[in-house]
Amino acid sequence: SDTAQVIPPDTTRIGFLEALRNVRIYKKNMQVVCDSLVYSDLDSLARLFNEPVIWQEVRRQYAADSITVVISDGAMEKASLMANAFIHIQEDSTHYDQIKGTEMLAFFDEQGTLERFDVLGGASALFYIEENEVLATVNKPESKMLSATFKDGNIQKIHYYDQAKNDAYPIVQLSSDDQQLKGFNWQ
């Protein structure tokens, strides 16, 4: 036949961002610093490299050797913290809940608020327990894996996998060094 089939041009637009050296991101409830970042609309993944740090709602800090974040409607949906993963949650000016492990997965609601995180491999934590509106006790659990759920920004439930080693101490008995896990680095 003499009629040639005309193929319309591909008009699909794919957003792509590559940022190098001293990357800074500022949003209303989140700030990010890293050395470099790569983002693509194709998979909605933002990859942060070289010791990235994410702060959320001022009092939460997520850090790892690298972080991959799934973005949905401009908010974090899920984050994978790879190698030396560490979450800090500020309780007051000198006390921080701390969770560390080999790898972590963090899950967020539609507004980007932390709902749950899973620590995979060598989970260590340090949680402050309030009694009569005063931080009084430090709980130091360790297990192969742990999963925690949040409600209104606070830890609601923690599930430990395998037999967890779990020690609790009065804060007054611990030195300031004993109130920090190895790798603590609030910035």
**According to the model, what pLDDT value does residue 86 have?**
93
Contact indicator for 116, 85 with CB cutoff of 8 Å? no
3-state helix, strand, coil in the chain (%, to 5): 5, 65, 30
List per-block mean pLDDT (blocks of 10 residues) for the chain, which spans 187 residues.
70 78 88 92 89 88 93 86 92 88 90 86 87 82 89 82 80 83 89
CA distance 145 to 177: 24
Contact indicator for 50, 63 with CB cutoff of 8 Å? no
Question: What residues contact 67, with CB distance under 8 A and at least 6 apart?
Answer: 34, 47, 48, 52, 54, 79, 80, 81, 82
The CA-atom distances, in angstroms, between 154 and each of 1, 101, 149, 167, 170 are 70, 20, 8, 21, 21
Contact indicator for 34, 51 with CB cutoff of 8 Å? yes
**Alpha-carbon torsion 43, 44, 48, 53, what sign?**
negative
Write down the residue that tokens 């020690």 correspond to: 167
pLDDT tens-digit map of 50-75: 989 999 877 889 999 999 999 888 78
**According to the model, what pLDDT value does residue 104 have?**
93
**According to the model, what pLDDT value does residue 1 have?**
52
**According to the model, what pLDDT value does residue 178 have?**
84
Question: What residues contact 63, with CB distance under 8 A and at least 6 apart?
Answer: 51, 52, 53, 54, 81, 84, 85, 86, 87, 88, 185, 187
The CA-atom distances, in angstroms, between 175 and each of 97, 124, 168 are 16, 18, 14
Q: Are strands 96-108 and 75-90 parallel, antiparallel or unpaired?
A: antiparallel
What is the pTM assigned to this prediction?
0.81
